């Protein structure tokens, strides 16, 4: 059962949404920490431009496209949820989850290709950052997909529709992180 | 009153759950608070035992320490490292933020539980796991990590330097888990405080201690991220063979120092603020005074919080950062002394015109101010870059931060524990034993660390297992001082048994504590003692601020927040 | 004075650093005694038996708040003095690098110091460099540059009598300077934890008069010739 | 939030895709400052659009925005304070010989272009 505390919303933001904003706030500094560290090294070493040139831009672009699309379906799911259409929300959430899975699959192929060409996490510090930052992000994607499936299952039965928006916000944040990872790791060469 | 009805409903749902759900996998914030409290105290005993072991080694080098054994250089390093880590991450954090936060926030805000009880439970279990993980590192080949609690690479990054191939990784993992636990807890605290206040409770009606715990949680959330990322990077350096912190492969060891201290300095305030909050409540109650300039206190605390993000590099003045940066950080560091000084002034001003009764909690609270002042002022020596060139990494630093962390983690905890013990366990504590324990802790504490200031000024530096290799530090006078400090430590530890005896005796005792033994105003004293699941018979409504003591319009000298005018 | 009573001041800037320390000390002593005094006075004066009924003071009005605002402005002023003094000394010791022709190279490693003295010709990386473990020999009243390296982990070159401390960072070469002012033999400490041997990583600095130093150089000259004369002309 | 008028999500989506296309096309020109703008300038615009239209930051109470911006400011602060040590290869009285050598060798064309194989 939910405690009364959970049902109050003095700040004007529903509790769950407020919490997810705080989650995102703390995630910003986690990704911020590693991206700032990467950025400093990237600017310090001219050589890293050459290292970066071995990443395949179009794969990164494809993944960006996938994530943007999944974000769209996530927000459409929220629209359905607002109108009380649980099954519709669930359907769109499943599309989003599928997008997440595609993202992970593409990434795994990409990494296989790079590793097989000798660009491993220990090749040099650029690749260390590449795999660490992208890997950290990929973990968030996977976590998001799992939660999304749970929320979708409930939404299908029309339960906990407010959660559709919560997972949506989280998913958009994951998308946002990638929007910055993409130019940092792929485009800047 | 719809709320009230549903609370009663919630009671019925939760009528006598089985032991395991009531005491082990409980989602009730009060039980989780107790779990945090006792886990923290247990870790505290372990940390204290480590202190005992290495202080004995320092006083009597090479001796076979009773109950411990020989303290070799490797063992000494892992002892000091884990003493620091445990005392900060597994004692100060869980007891001050998690335990008191969990217990006080819902009660003081007049709601029935945290907003996310299950996340709350999850947070505790991750924390417990992290504690277990850390302790396992003492039993792996190579022993526990010995690179100081700051874990500067390359020493912490490469097994061939640290000689603790597994210990250092276990340390990183444990710290990472602990951070995740407190992120979950912090989100819970902040959300509860922002969203679940009792009807009628405006921002300025929130008890200072809740404000402080919430601000501390926010500081933690905003500062820990880079270190979490750094911990991941360090772990990869250790186990995968990356070179984030290896200068010869394009990394930079200084980066870790910044990642660490960007968190490490706000962390000081993360643990300081709750202790200050507890002190504020106790002092107001036992001097029957309204807190002096509540709003100023609040603004000052915010200022401290923001400033605390701009001072971290004063830990690295001589650690190889660019000297030009040190000037900026000197200025910010001395700036932060202003709000902290102001807070101390406020507390002193609160005493003015009061009617002070020196109960055990009050003694602890007052001693917090008296000793924390020493910790605060000695910080100025270290914040002033010019003087820090000499003082850095000496026992002066050590004594300084023990004069901040001991008041925070030990004195603050005891102040809060003895103050809220009736509410937590429904029994009063024995005042006489409490006072014995107080004097038996506070006098030896000063006897331990005042001499260490002297040793520090005399040039004795930290993390040396035996000073005989430094002719200037091996003089008999200095050795005599070390022995004195160690003996004082033994005395202080001995007196802690009085406390545990007092706890058990009071807990066993027959007569129940009244609902509001101290005649305090805040909402937790409105709840029955001890509070049942759901806390309040009827969720309270708030009409006034938390510190309306000795109000001229009333003949009682207190005015509970929930009493209609 | 206060520090010198315990540790001799053997470098040109030791006294400046002590000065900053003492400046802070007196400011701090003033504030500490003042606040603790008032604090305990209040506790004594306003005990329950002396004042059974407490006053009701919100502390929000100006005339009340001034009791904390004025002190805190005063604290700010003290801070300004401290900052100025501290930054000035810091600049002299760490940022400024007065020119000189004498440089010693300090290589730190687990768990020993290797000092490379320039030798009679006053230049490093020449055949007559004198390389010593855990022994640094310098001439009194001469300005030296040190060139600080680390082979493995962080170390810290700390000479208490100089009031000098500087971490050695692998992958970085850190320059600094000192001018010994007292002859004698003193401690060099490693003040940054560097593994299990950290406690053993001591060294000694020998501050010698010109004659002693020259004869030491002559004695330890790797080429074995007596370059004492040459070295004298070299200066 | 149903009382708020929802932005046209599809329209936002098409804009985002367009921006994505530009950010990919940018580097093809091979002019560095153009690349920087198309890469990072556009990333910021995209981030803003997502946050505003998909995450509905615009219709949350103000403090949410402040909260998130504060975190970004802290990260900026972190960068500014750390860069002088980590991003630079030399500073006042210190140098990183290995980094200097690497950059010299790179400018001389001795390393790079497939280094790391």
Residue D116 in contact with partner chain C when CB distance is under 8 A: no
The dihedral built from the CA positions of residue A33, A36, A40 and A41, taken in this order, carries a sign that is positive
Among all residues of chain C, which has the CA nearest to that of B345?
A: C68
pLDDT single digits (tens) C111-155: 899 999 988 888 888 888 899 999 999 999 999 999 999 999 999
Please determine, for residue B11, whether its predicted confidence score (pLDDT) is greater than 80.
Answer: no
The CA-CA-CA angle for residues B473, B479, B485, to 5°, reads: 120
**B148 vs C193: CB contact, 8 Å cut-off?**
yes
* A179 interaction partners in chain D (CB closer than 8 Å): 43, 46-47, 50
* A42 interaction partners in chain B (CB closer than 8 Å): none
Per-domain boundaries in chain C: 14-95, 103-234
pLDDT of B24: 82
Per-domain boundaries in chain A: 15-187
**C-alpha pair distances (Å), D20 with each of A182, B272, C131, C140:** 10, 47, 61, 68
Decide which of A181 and C225 is more confident.
A181
Q: What is the rounded CA–CA span in Å between residue B438 and residue B25?
A: 34
Please determine, for residue C174, whether its predicted confidence score (pLDDT) is greater than 70.
Answer: yes
Q: Look at the block and give the residue holding tokens 């650029």.
A: A126
* pLDDT band of B6, cuts 50, 70, 90: very low
* pLDDT band of B450, cuts 50, 70, 90: very high
Chains in contact with chain C (at least 3 beta-carbon pairs closer than 8 A): B, D
Q: What is the rounded CA–CA span in Å between residue C226 and residue C219?
A: 8
pLDDT of D57: 86
pLDDT single digits (tens) B464-479: 999 988 999 999 999 9
Please determine, for residue D100, whether its predicted confidence score (pLDDT) is greater than 50.
Answer: yes
pLDDT of D30: 76
**B250 vs D102: CB contact, 8 Å cut-off?**
yes
Instruction: Report the range of poorest mean pLDDT among B318-332, C13-27, D49-63.
Output: D49-63
Chains D+B touching (3+ CB pairs under 8 Å): yes
* pLDDT band of C224, cuts 50, 70, 90: low
Count of CA atoms in the C-beta half-sphere (13 A) of B228: 23
Residue range C185-207: average pLDDT? Answer: 93
Residue range C197-217: average pLDDT? Answer: 92
* Two structure tokens written together for B394: 């000496």
| ipTM at complex level | 0.93
Q: What is the rounded CA–CA span in Å between residue C199 and residue B143?
A: 18
* pLDDT band of A1, cuts 50, 70, 90: low
The CA-CA-CA angle for residues B548, B551, B556, to 5°, reads: 95
Mean pLDDT of chain C: 90
**D87 vs A176: CB contact, 8 Å cut-off?**
no
Mean pLDDT of chain B: 92
Please determine, for residue B197, whether its predicted confidence score (pLDDT) is greater than 60.
Answer: yes
* Two structure tokens written together for B518: 């101290």
pLDDT single digits (tens) B245-291: 988 888 899 999 999 999 999 999 999 999 999 999 999 999 999 99
pLDDT single digits (tens) B286-314: 999 999 999 999 999 999 999 999 999 99
pLDDT of B15: 53
Please count the helices (runs of H) and the strands (runs of E) in chain C: 4, 10
**D50 vs A179: CB contact, 8 Å cut-off?**
yes
Residue C208 three-state SS: strand
Please determine, for residue B4, whether its predicted confidence score (pLDDT) is greater than 50.
Answer: no
Q: What is the pTM of this model?
A: 0.94
User: Which residue intervals of chain D are DSSP H helices?
Assistant: 9-25, 32-36, 42-49, 62-86, 97-107
pLDDT of D115: 43
pLDDT single digits (tens) A103-145: 999 999 999 999 999 999 988 899 999 999 999 999 999 999 9
Q: What is the rounded CA–CA span in Å between residue C172 and residue B247?
A: 8
Shortest Cα–Cα distance, B247 to chain D (Å): 8
Residue range B423-442: average pLDDT? Answer: 95
Residue D93 in contact with partner chain C when CB distance is under 8 A: yes
Residue D20 in contact with partner chain C when CB distance is under 8 A: no
Q: Which of A184, A30, C172 is nearest to B259 (CA)?
A: A30
pLDDT single digits (tens) D24-71: 888 877 777 888 888 888 899 999 999 988 888 888 889 999 999 999
The angle, 0 to 180 degrees and rounded to 10, between the axes of the packed helices B360-383 and B253-286 is 150
Please determine, for residue B565, whether its predicted confidence score (pLDDT) is greater than 90.
Answer: no
The matching CATH number, chosen from 3.40.50.300, 1.25.40.20, 1.20.120.80, 3.30.565.10, for A15-187 is 1.20.120.80
Residue range B238-242: average pLDDT? Answer: 92
pLDDT single digits (tens) A3-43: 888 888 888 899 999 999 999 999 999 999 999 999 999 99
Q: Of all helices (H) and strands (E), which one includes residue C186?
A: strand C184-190
Please determine, for residue B94, whether its predicted confidence score (pLDDT) is greater than 90.
Answer: yes
Provide CATH code, domain C103-234.
Answer: 2.60.40.420
Q: Which of B200, B134, B132, B123 is nearest to B166 (CA)?
A: B134
The percentage of residues in chain B with a pLDDT greater than 90, rounded to a whole number, is 88
* Two structure tokens written together for A107: 């990434």
Residue C200 in contact with partner chain B when CB distance is under 8 A: yes
Residue C146 three-state SS: strand
Q: What is the rounded CA–CA span in Å between residue B464 and residue A122?
A: 35
Q: What is the rounded CA–CA span in Å between residue D59 and residue A165?
A: 14
Domains and CATH numbers, chain B: 2-525 (1.20.210.10)
Q: What is the rounded CA–CA span in Å between residue C22 and residue B380?
A: 11
Q: Which of B169, B325, B333, B331 is nearest to B254 (CA)?
A: B325
């Amino acid at each position: 059962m939910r405690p009364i505390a959970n049902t109050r919303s003095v700040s004007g933001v529903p509790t769950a949404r407020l919490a997810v904003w705080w989650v995102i706030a703390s995630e910003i500094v986690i990704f911020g920490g590693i991206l700032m560290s990467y950025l400093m090294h990237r600017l310090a070493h001219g050589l890293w431009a050459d290292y970066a040139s071995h990443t395949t831009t179009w794969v990164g672009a494809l993944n960006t496209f996938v994530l943007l699309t999944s974000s769209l379906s996530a927000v459409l799911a929220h629209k359905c949820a607002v109108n009380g259409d649980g099954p519709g929300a669930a359907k769109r959430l499943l599309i989003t989850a599928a997008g997440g899975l595609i993202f992970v699959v593409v990434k795994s192929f990409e990494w296989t290709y790079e590793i097989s060409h000798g660009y491993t996490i220990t090749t040099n510090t650029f690749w260390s950052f590449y795999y660490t930052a992208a890997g950290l992000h990929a973990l968030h994607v996977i976590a998001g997909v799992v939660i999304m499936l749970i929320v979708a299952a409930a939404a299908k039965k029309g339960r906990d529709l407010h959660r559709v928006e919560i997972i949506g916000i989280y998913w958009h944040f994951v998308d946002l992180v990638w929007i910055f990872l993409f130019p940092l790791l792929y485009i800047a060469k | 009153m719809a709320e009230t009805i549903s609370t009663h409903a919630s009671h019925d749902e939760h009528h006598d759950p089985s032991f395991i759900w009531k005491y082990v996998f409980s989602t009730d914030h009060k039980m989780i608070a107790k779990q945090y409290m006792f886990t923290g105290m247990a870790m505290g005993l372990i940390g204290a035992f480590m202190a005992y072991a290495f202080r004995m080694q320092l006083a009597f080098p090479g001796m076979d320490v009773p109950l411990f054994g020989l303290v070799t250089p490797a063992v000494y390093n892992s002892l000091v490292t884990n003493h620091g880590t445990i005392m900060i991450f597994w004692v100060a954090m869980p007891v001050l933020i998690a335990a008191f936060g969990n217990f006080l926030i819902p009660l003081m805000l007049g709601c029935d539980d945290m907003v996310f009880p299950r996340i709350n439970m999850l947070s505790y279990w991750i924390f417990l796991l992290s504690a277990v993980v850390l302790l396992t590192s003492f039993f792996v080949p190579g022993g526990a990590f010995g690179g100081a609690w700051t874990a500067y690479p390359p020493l912490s990054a490469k097994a061939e330097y640290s000689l603790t191939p597994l210990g250092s990784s276990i340390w990183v993992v444990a710290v990472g888990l602990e951070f995740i636990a407190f992120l979950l807890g912090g989100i819970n605290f902040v959300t509860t405080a922002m969203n679940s206040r009792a009807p009628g409770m405006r921002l300025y009606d929130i008890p200072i201690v809740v404000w402080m715990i919430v601000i501390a949680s926010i500081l933690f959330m905003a500062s820990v991220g880079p270190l979490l990322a750094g911990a991941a990077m360090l772990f990869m350096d250790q186990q995968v063979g990356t070179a984030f912190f290896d200068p010869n492969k394009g990394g930079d060891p200084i980066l870790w120092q910044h990642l660490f201290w960007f968190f490490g300095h706000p962390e000081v305030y993360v643990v300081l603020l709750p202790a200050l909050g507890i002190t504020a409540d106790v002092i107001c109650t036992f001097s029957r005074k309204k807190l002096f300039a509540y709003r100023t206190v609040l603004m000052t605390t915010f200022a401290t919080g923001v400033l605390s993000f701009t001072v971290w590099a004063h830990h690295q003045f001589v650690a190889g950062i660019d000297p030009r940066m040190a000037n900026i950080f000197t200025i910010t560091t001395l700036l932060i002394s202003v709000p902290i000084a102001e807070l101390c002034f406020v507390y002193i001003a609160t005493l003015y015109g009061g009617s002070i009764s020196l109960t055990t909690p009050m003694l602890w609270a007052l001693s917090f101010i008296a000793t924390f002042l020493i910790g605060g002022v000695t910080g100025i020596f270290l914040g002033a870059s010019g003087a820090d060139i000499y003082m850095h990494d000496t026992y002066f630093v050590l004594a300084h931060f023990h004069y901040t962390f001991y008041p925070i983690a030990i004195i603050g905890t005891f102040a809060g524990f003895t103050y809220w013990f009736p509410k937590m366990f429904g029994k009063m504590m024995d005042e006489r034993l409490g006072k014995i324990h107080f004097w038996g802790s506070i006098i030896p504490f000063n006897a331990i660390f005042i001499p260490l200031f002297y040793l520090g000024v005399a040039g004795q530096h930290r993390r040396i297992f035996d000073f005989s290799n430094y002719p200037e530090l091996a003089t008999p006078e200095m050795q005599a001082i070390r022995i004195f400090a160690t003996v004082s430590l033994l005395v202080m530890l001995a007196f802690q048994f009085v406390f545990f005896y007092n706890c058990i005796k009071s807990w066993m005792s027959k007569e129940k504590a009244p609902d509001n033994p101290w005649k305090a105003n805040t909402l937790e004293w409105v709840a029955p003692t001890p509070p049942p699941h759901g806390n309040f018979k009827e969720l309270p409504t708030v009409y006034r601020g938390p510190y309306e003591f000795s109000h001229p319009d009333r003949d009682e000298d207190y005015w509970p927040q929930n009493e209609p005018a | 004075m206060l520090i010198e009573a315990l540790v001799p001041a053997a470098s040109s800037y030791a006294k400046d650093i002590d000065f900053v320390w003492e400046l802070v000390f007196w400011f701090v002593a003033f504030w500490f005694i003042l606040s603790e005094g008032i604090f305990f006075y209040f506790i004594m004066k306003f005990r329950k038996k002396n004042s059974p009924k407490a006053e009701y003071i919100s502390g929000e009005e100006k005339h009340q708040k001034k009791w904390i605002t004025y002190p805190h402005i005063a604290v700010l002023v003290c801070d300004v003095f401290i900052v100025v003094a501290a930054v000035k000394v810091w600049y002299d010791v760490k940022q400024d690098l007065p020119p000189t022709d004498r440089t010693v190279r300090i290589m730190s490693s687990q768990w020993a110091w290797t000092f490379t003295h320039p030798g009679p010709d006053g230049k490093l990386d020449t055949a007559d460099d004198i390389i010593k473990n855990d022994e640094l020999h310098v001439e009194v009243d001469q300005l030296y540059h040190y060139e600080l390296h680390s082979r493995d982990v962080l170390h810290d070159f700390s000479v208490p009598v100089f009031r000098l401390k500087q971490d050695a960072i692998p992958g970085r070469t850190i320059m600094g300077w000192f001018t010994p002012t007292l002859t004698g033999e003193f401690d060099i400490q490693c003040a940054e934890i560097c593994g299990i041997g950290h406690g053993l990583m001591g060294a000694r600095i020998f501050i010698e008069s010109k004659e002693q130093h020259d004869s030491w150089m002559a004695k330890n000259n790797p080429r074995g010739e007596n370059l004492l004369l040459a070295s004298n002309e070299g200066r | 939030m149903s009382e708020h008028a929802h932005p046209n999500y599809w329209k936002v989506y098409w804009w985002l895709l367009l921006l994505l296309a530009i950010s990919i096309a940018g580097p093809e020109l091979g002019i560095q400052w153009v690349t920087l703008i198309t890469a990072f300038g556009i990333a910021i615009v995209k981030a803003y659009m997502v946050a505003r239209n998909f995450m509905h930051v615009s219709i949350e109470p103000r403090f949410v925005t402040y909260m998130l911006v504060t975190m970004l400011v802290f990260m900026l602060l972190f960068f500014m304070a750390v860069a002088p040590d980590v991003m630079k290869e030399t500073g006042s009285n210190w140098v990183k010989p290995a980094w200097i050598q690497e950059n010299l060798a790179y400018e001389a064309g001795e390393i790079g272009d497939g280094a790391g194989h």
